[in-house]
Structure 1
Amino acid sequence: MPILSRAFFVPSKTLFPLLTIALWLTPIVNSDAQQSLELASSSNSKSLVAQSSTSRLIATGTQVSINNRTFPATWSQRQQPTKSEVATAMSDAGLMQLLGVDLLNTRDVTKQPVQWFSSPTVSAFELDTWHRDGYRYLDITQLASKMGWQMQAQGNILRINTPSATIQNIRQGKQTWGDRIVIDLNRPTFWQVTPQPVAAKPQPPSPTNDDDQPLNQEWLITIDATADRSITQQFQPSLPEQLTSTPANNQTSVLQVEAASNLTTIHLSVPAGLSPQLSTLPNPNRLVVDLRPDPMVERDIQWASGVRWRQRFVTLGNSRFPVVLLEINPQKTELSLLPISSVPNSLTGTAPIITTAQQLKAAAAINAGFFNRKNQLPLGAIRRDGQWLSGPILNRGAIAWNDSGKFKFGRLQLQETIITATGQRLPIDTFNSGYVKSGIAHYTNAWGTTYTPLIDNEIIVVVQNNQVVGQIPGGVSGATTIPIPPNGFLLALRANPQIASLLPVGSIIRTENSTTPADFSNYPHILGGGPLLLQNRQIVLNAQAEGFSEAFSRQKASRSTIGTTATGNLLIAAVHNRAGGAGPSLTEIAQIMQHLGCVDALNLDGGSSTSLYLGGQLLDRSPRTAARVHNGLGIFLQPRN
């Protein structure tokens, strides 16, 4: 499921545009001599350790040029305190996606062992780390020197150039779990993997043609190497149209090999349900492409103090689920956890979670509550720093927490009441919500500067300084924009116009609110989701009780979840398709969270919204397949002010 280093896993059938070039997997490491790699990976040699990064920042940038091809990636340079040399570092996202270096397990937050054209799972190099603005940087200074890379910072771009390489052979074979393609190289070099859009399936020529199996997925493997003409001719379609038509379903094939200007592109056809897992091997140098239903690489990396990145498989019955998760220690004073919104100072709007996290400089994030995709409005609880931004709906599950690292899970209701000048108590049904029902809806400045009626014939009561100052007919939904007073609020009266007579212009009113359970009010931060999965280690799943449809309850889909362990740590997790099948059901995701050691757990918005972010990358999927979302949970590497 994660699209990182040795595995490129796409958990859905979403189409990928051609322009996904290069954000995913571009291994590299070119050297002037194989001997240097053998030395680096020898058991008798010491690990390569980058220079100390505890020094002055002198340059940063957001683009990296790899042999004159430019890609987005963050980098930084620091002046060493005791040496004249400058330490150059890339974010681990860039290192994996552009250089193809694989990150190995570590519990040392200051060092990151990596594998690259060396023995599998053996650290050929160990890189110093530092954190800045939500990114983790790995010092590649000595690695570049050892491998013969030429590096130069030019403004916003870090340029890396390496010696050319040659493809010596391309071999195809079978393994017990699936197909394997081996690309023999004369030296380590860069490579990229790009999924291509799935073409529309042609209509069957006759009613007797009942072949409804999905078409193969085409992938491009681009290698910074020259291929001999004999290799390109070996994999050359006899007719141009053969390149655009995949072979018989469930068959893997190298469709074509093209070589030009020290770049070789391999067109690969992959059966539906499989994804390529890429790895490198030394002596001789090989790029290995395995087509698997379970391509995720398992990991356990202490990414930052209090942030542990894990990837593992969880088996339920006959199903094997790839789980990508972050374990957060909320007791770490250098961490802070906050609800995050896609649009500042407004509750209307959506954005990819990767975009929101990067803009806010969050180190990690996960999508959270449900929302209306058409009008981009929230459908659940959002409370930040003690202020309600949007109220809960339908008694759905929610998570609450404070800045001391205490959490609460439960089904949440907000009771809000208007008290008129004559003492009448009028219940408010929704607060700053895109959920529409008969009754009174309450909208404050947290909604934005204006309100546009969500249904026809609303009556808008304008309140300023606790006094009703006007009543405005809403008219046709979406047609009228009404300012929300900076020192007041609006009440939208729906399907019950007689309530307006109880709120005459000039009358004084006040509001009060409370929550059920009552102690939710004690927590400054709340995010809604649903349904609630676990409480006190027990599965308490009841989707219907939280207003979800029967179809939603039965659905198997990608899932975002959040939970807490017995030690008080927070788990945020993304789970996509099981090996060879669909994503988990609600019951299965509850069992997965139980298996991971959660005491309490909550389901969040899932499907195409499912997105788990860390340090510049989505861990669970390609950004091209991730939908825009309304809100999420952000983890920041700095304490609250």
Structure 2
Amino acid sequence: MGPNRWGNAGLLGALMLRVCLSAQAQPADVELRIDGNPVPPGGAVVVDGRLLIADTFAEEMLGFTREPGDSSGSLKWFGHQWQFRAGQTTGVVDGQTVQMDVAPQLLGGKLYCPAGVLLQPLGAAVERLDDGAYRLRLPRAMVTSVRQGLHEQSVRIVIDLSGPAAFSRRAAPGRFTLRVPLPDTPEGRCTLLSQHSFADALVPTVTESRADGWAEIAINHSSPRPPSVFTLAGPERIVVDFARPAPVSPPQTPAPPTPTPPPSGQTTNGVQWRACNFGTEHGPVTGWLLQVDPGDEAITVGPAAAGATIDTRRTVKSIAAAAGAYAAVNGGYFASTGQPLGMLLINGEWIASPRHQRAVLGFCADRTVQVRNVAFDGWVEFEGLGRLPLEGVNTHQEGADGVVVYTPRWGASLSGNARKTRVVVRNNVVTAVVGPPEAAPIPADGYVVSGLDKRATSLLRVQVGQGVKLLLDTSPKWPGLLHAVGGGPRLLAGGAVAINTYDERFRPDITCSVRPRTAAGVDARGRLLLLVIDSTNRGMTLGGLATVMQKLGAVDALNLDGGGSSSFVVDGTMMNTSSDGFARTVSDAIIIRDARRSAKAR
């Protein structure tokens, strides 16, 4: 019998499923094996020849977050979200309704979900072997760092990954262990034993070991309850929250202090800031608002990068201090490497190109601030050879047969690649053609054009000394654009909520979650509004954020990076409380300079 597959294998681990097949609709027991080792029964069943995986197994062995209901369940995994109901052949995956060949089954308090629908968004694959066994291949990733965040009611451990990966969890008194499958690379095959020590006694140490293709993260703790575990995407990370013990009440409760109103202040009529309180269904949250008049000639506002190259990350406070800014908030999305995941334009210099048709905050030469949804439009033309469309600027080449331009913001060079040809350009003239698989230097006063596959073959026709024309633009065109920072989704357009108006292609962890948020908007008078929603009571939904921006007077608005990235800095002080427990390093920030007042040195 040939293999029956769902999804892509990629760099994957193997989970063996040996089943007793049944031609009837009654569920058949399934024996599960991971790398040849049996796991506790009850993880999967077969109905009409279709494999169904229990939501509890997905949680404990694959890294899913589970929110069970009476006869339904919601599952989350690195930005993806599934909703199933027992007995119904329709479900919802990443916000889209899907039709399933077999309905989920509620058995013994567990919701068994169709394996194909559950695993396909993971990039996982299932195949049935000739001996009747099933092999499940799972995504792997490297553990890049382990860090701790401190909160009033919990201690957070964050495990940063190089990408999404299936992982298992095991709880024991005083110890919580995660196992992450590693890629079959030289780094993944290396052995490692290290210990991370932290100041908070609730979670004093985390031991990280690597052996036999697995990373094991053992967390020692004294929390009175099992931890809460969930995953986040962009960048991918596993978050483990350990609750602090409840404080012992004193014999006499002192009278509560008189409430102090939130701080607020202003520098001039051009820059004002204040704290705001908003009610949500999750409880009250605090917001921090900057109101900026871009028409004030003493004010300079726009994005600032964390460093000279896009692999740099710094805190918003540090970026503001380096630029001599009075105030700042975090900017656009970024990868764990620091690479901006959206448009970034500073003083007319293209640092990163737009993605899809996502919302962008633009600062124009006439001192107006605008919010638009734009795509990338660029091309390169070699004298006598014609014009090639560009996929982007300073981004990983993802599309087949694509062409990308790399500037010194990427770094000093591009590593060699057997599928790519690189053309080095200085002063609009080709100075070198570097064929595969050689590395190519990026000149400090030029750029490199990189072609993949068929485009690599096309670029081999280019000769040293040929003239080059390069166009980098947005679609539709944006006249007078001087600075820009990408974000999304769009919150408001012309005063109306516009969250679902544009094809921005965000994952559910951005669109559907409750989290700290950062937003930017423009009111009817052309003033820039920058709002950060604190991590109090988890934060706010996108819909709630759009409503708040409306109430603050915004006509056009967009969402920016949020979660632990949300940062509000005024005069050298970070005002909000980060959900990470400490200030996260980011790739860029929106800064405000006021010539009438310099920032404090801190």
TM over 0.5: yes
Residue number in structure 2 paired with 1:315: 279
Q: In structure 2, what residue type is equivalent to 1:614? A: V
Residue number in structure 1 paired with 2:429: 467
Q: In structure 2, what residue type is equivalent to 1:482? A: A
Change (3 A) 1:621 1:551: closer
Counterpart among 451, 454, 459 of residue 500 in structure 1: 459
Q: C-alpha displacement at 1:501, in angstroms?
A: 3.9
SS in 1 for 2:423: strand
Residue number in structure 1 paired with 2:145: none
Residue number in structure 2 paired with 1:361: 324
Q: In structure 1, what residue type is equivalent to 2:469? A: R
Residue number in structure 1 paired with 2:526: 568
Q: C-alpha displacement at 1:487, in angstroms?
A: 4.0
Indicate whether 1:635 and 2:592 are aligned: yes
Take 1:338 and 1:602, find their aligned partners in 2: how far apart are those partners?
Answer: 15
Indicate whether 1:491 and 2:453 are aligned: no
Deviations 1:397-456 (A, max 9, x none): 101113543111111223111223235221011112357444011012344443446x76
Q: C-alpha displacement at 1:287, in angstroms?
A: 10
Q: C-alpha displacement at 1:253, in angstroms?
A: 4.3
Deviations 1:17-52 (A, max 9, x none): 9xxxxxxxxxxxxxxxxxxxxxxxxxxxxxxxxxxx
Task: Give yes or no for contact 2:224–2:244 (8 Å, CA) kept in 1.
Answer: no
Take 2:460 and 2:244, find their aligned partners in 1: how far apart are those partners?
Answer: 69
For normalisation by structure 2, the TM-score amounts to 0.55
Change (3 A) 1:600 1:423: same
Counterpart among 512, 515, 519 of residue 471 in structure 2: 512
Indicate whether 1:625 and 2:587 are aligned: no
Q: In structure 1, what residue type is equivalent to 2:394? A: N
Aligned-pair Cα RMSD in Å: 3.8
Take 2:330 and 2:588, find their aligned partners in 1: how far apart are those partners?
Answer: 6
Q: Which has the larger radius of gyration?
A: 1
Take 2:157 and 2:567, find their aligned partners in 1: how far apart are those partners?
Answer: 16
Change (3 A) 1:214 1:530: closer
Task: Give yes or no for contact 2:342–2:486 (8 Å, CA) kept in 1.
Answer: yes
Q: In structure 1, what residue type is equivalent to 2:320? A: A
Residue number in structure 2 paired with 1:584: 540
SS in 2 for 1:372: coil
Q: In structure 2, what residue type is equivalent to 1:335? A: I
Take 2:204 and 2:257, find their aligned partners in 1: how far apart are those partners?
Answer: 26
SS in 2 for 1:546: coil
Task: Give yes or no for contact 2:357–2:502 (8 Å, CA) kept in 1.
Answer: no
Indicate whether 1:433 and 2:392 are aligned: no
Change (3 A) 1:447 1:212: closer
Q: In structure 1, what residue type is equivalent to 2:573? A: Q
Bigger relative contact order (CA 8 A; separation at least 6): 1
Change (3 A) 1:583 1:471: same
Match runs of 1:139-538 below 5 Å: 196=200, 198-199=202-203, 212=226, 247=245, 249=246, 251-253=247-249, 297-316=261-280, 319-343=283-307, 345-373=308-336, 375-402=337-364, 404-422=366-384, 424-434=386-396, 436-438=398-400, 439-452=402-415, 457-473=419-435, 475=437, 482-496=440-454, 497-518=456-477, 520-538=478-496
Task: Give yes or no for contact 1:531–1:543 (8 Å, CA) kept in 2.
Answer: no
Q: In structure 2, what residue type is equivalent to 1:450? A: S
Take 2:301 and 2:405, find their aligned partners in 1: how far apart are those partners?
Answer: 27
Q: C-alpha displacement at 1:212, in angstroms?
A: 4.0
Q: C-alpha displacement at 1:210, in angstroms?
A: 11
Task: Give yes or no for contact 2:521–2:557 (8 Å, CA) kept in 1.
Answer: yes
Change (3 A) 1:340 1:211: closer
Take 1:540 and 1:423, find their aligned partners in 2: how far apart are those partners?
Answer: 43
Take 1:296 and 1:603, find their aligned partners in 2: how far apart are those partners?
Answer: 30
SS in 1 for 2:525: coil
- Count of residue pairs the alignment pairs up: 375
Take 1:427 and 1:296, find their aligned partners in 2: how far apart are those partners?
Answer: 58
Q: C-alpha displacement at 1:196, in angstroms?
A: 4.9
Task: Give yes or no for contact 1:15–1:625 (8 Å, CA) kept in 2.
Answer: no
Take 1:12 and 1:402, find their aligned partners in 2: how far apart are those partners?
Answer: 44
Change (3 A) 1:495 1:213: same
SS in 2 for 1:605: coil
Q: Can you give the 5+ residue segments of structure 1 that lack an aligned partner in the other structure?
A: 1-8, 18-194, 203-208, 216-244, 256-285
Task: Give yes or no for contact 1:11–1:577 (8 Å, CA) kept in 2.
Answer: no
Deviations 1:437-490 (A, max 9, x none): 44011012344443446x763322222333333332454xxxx76322244320
Take 2:532 and 2:448, find their aligned partners in 1: how far apart are those partners?
Answer: 38
Change (3 A) 1:11 1:312: farther
Take 2:155 and 2:429, find their aligned partners in 1: how far apart are those partners?
Answer: 52
Deviations 1:526-550 (A, max 9, x none): 1111111111111111398212123
Task: Give yes or no for contact 1:543–1:549 (8 Å, CA) kept in 2.
Answer: no
Q: Can you give the 5+ residue segments of structure 2 that lack an aligned partner in the other structure?
A: 1-149, 159-198, 207-222, 230-242, 598-602
Change (3 A) 1:15 1:212: closer
